[in-house]
């Protein structure tokens, strides 16, 4: 078990739009990543001891969020209400391949549908996880599936993906699988690349634009200086801060610096759950 005593709330973390394979159950959230299964309830992560290191990194357990919040509040008083509201958000270190496909699917989509597409993909093309039921962990018995590797998806035809009901995104999924499998996009190199080069690498994949690339790097690589901008975020910046679209990048860099990704998550979660005028 792992304990996250401060600055963590499962609802804030799993419902803020950064991840899609966490589902609420009677006794917390059940999640799958990296071929592993765990349960999260309140401030406790229930997993086999052998997986402690994996989930400690996944939840960025060593990150001092109190210092991040102090920095953001000192640079933006307006953001304080957002931090107070969603103060339990932790930016996860997700698997980069899964994050690429998840955010390709997320474009012009809603969260329930994204989750359904991903779950179908894992059941149809992933591997059944050899998870041995342990009553102490409180993880329900059932079948759990890993995320399909790029080589597995690359072996399919676009017709095989019809069961996903992902629409035009099928061709983007196939393009990602082909480019990663062939090494044209080398996921092992990306962690060592400067952020701009890493983004350029991801932009080789069809269906990955600037916003999706920022999401991938923020939610899997911990590139906290990135501030993904969709229509909703641009509207917030304009209506709350009076920032025009052409001024966004300079405003974000000056205001939030290397903590821009945290600011974006607090901002997005607060204004998604509340009226933008509040």
What are the domain boundaries of the chain? Answer: 2-58+94-221, 65-88+226-273
pLDDT band at 277 (very low <50, low <70, confident <90, very high): low
Q: How much is the pLDDT for 278? A: 53
CATH fold of 2-58+94-221, please? Endonuclease III; domain 1 (1.10.340)
Tell me which residue has tokens 């974006």.
Answer: 264
Residues 6 or more apart from 176 whose CB is under 8 A from it?
A: 100, 101, 104, 150, 153, 185, 205, 206, 207, 208
List, for residues 124-133, the tens digit of each pLDDT value: 999 999 877 7
Residue 138 has pLDDT above 90, yes or no: no
Q: What are phi and psi of 176, to 5 degrees?
A: -60, -45
Q: How many CB atoms lie within 10 A of CB 31?
A: 23
Q: How much is the pLDDT for 152? A: 97
Residue 227 has pLDDT above 70, yes or no: yes
Residue 269 has pLDDT above 60, yes or no: yes
Q: What is the mean pLDDT of the chain?
A: 93
Q: How much is the pLDDT for 140? A: 84
3-state secondary structure at position 97: helix
Strand 22-25 and strand 44-46: the pairing is unpaired
User: Tokens in use for 247?
Assistant: 């001024």
Contact (Cβ atoms closer than 8 angstroms) between residue 211 and residue 230: yes
User: Tokens in use for 207?
Assistant: 């269906």
Q: What are phi and psi of 84, to 5 degrees?
A: -60, -40
Q: How much is the pLDDT for 136? A: 83
Residue 32 has pLDDT above 60, yes or no: yes
Tell me which residue has tokens 């419902």.
Answer: 15
Residue 220 has pLDDT above 90, yes or no: yes
Percent of residues, the chain, with pLDDT higher than 90:
84
Residue 22 has pLDDT above 90, yes or no: yes
Distance of CA 240 to the CA centre of its chain: 25
pLDDT band at 142 (very low <50, low <70, confident <90, very high): confident
The CATH class that applies to domain 65-88+226-273 reads mainly alpha
Residue 6 has pLDDT above 90, yes or no: no
Residues 6 or more apart from 258 whose CB is under 8 A from it?
A: 224, 225
Cα torsion at 88, 33, 39, 217 (round to 10°)? 0
- Output DSSP code: residue 247: G
User: Where is 28: in which H helix or E strand?
Assistant: strand 28-33
Strand order in the sheet with 28-33: 2-3, 44-46, 36-41, 28-33, 22-25
Q: Average pLDDT of 158-174?
A: 96
3-state secondary structure at position 99: helix
Q: Average pLDDT of 209-238?
A: 95
**CA proximity to 148, closest of 166, 172, 188, 121:** 121
């Amino acid at each position: 078990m792992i304990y996250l005593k401060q600055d963590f709330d499962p609802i804030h973390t799993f419902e803020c739009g950064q991840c899609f394979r966490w589902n609420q159950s009677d006794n917390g959230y059940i999640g799958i990543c990296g071929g592993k299964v765990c349960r999260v309830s309140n401030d406790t992560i229930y997993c086999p001891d052998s997986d402690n290191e994996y989930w400690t990194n996944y939840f960025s357990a060593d990150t001092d969020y109190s210092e991040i919040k102090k920095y953001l509040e000192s640079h933006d008083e307006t953001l304080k209400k957002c931090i107070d509201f969603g103060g339990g958000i932790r930016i996860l270190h997700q698997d980069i391949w899964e994050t690429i496909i998840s955010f390709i699917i997320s474009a012009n989509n809603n969260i329930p549908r994204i989750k359904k597409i991903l779950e179908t993909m894992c059941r149809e093309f992933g591997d059944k996880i050899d998870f041995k039921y342990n009553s102490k962990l409180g993880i329900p018995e059932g079948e759990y599936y890993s995320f399909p590797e790029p080589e597995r998806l690359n072996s399919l035809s676009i017709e095989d993906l019809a069961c996903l009901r992902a629409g035009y995104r099928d061709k983007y999924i196939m393009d990602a699988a082909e480019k990663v499998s062939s090494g044209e996009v080398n996921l092992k190199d990306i962690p060592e690349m400067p952020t701009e080069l890493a983004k350029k690498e991801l932009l080789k994949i069809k269906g990955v634009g600037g916003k999706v690339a920022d999401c991938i790097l923020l939610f899997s690589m911990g590139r906290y200086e990135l501030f993904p901008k969709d229509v909703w975020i641009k509207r917030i910046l304009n209506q709350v801060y009076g920032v025009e679209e052409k001024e966004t990048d300079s405003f974000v860099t000056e205001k939030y610096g290397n903590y821009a990704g945290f600011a974006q998550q607090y901002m997005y979660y607060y204004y998604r759950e509340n009226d933008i005028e509040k």
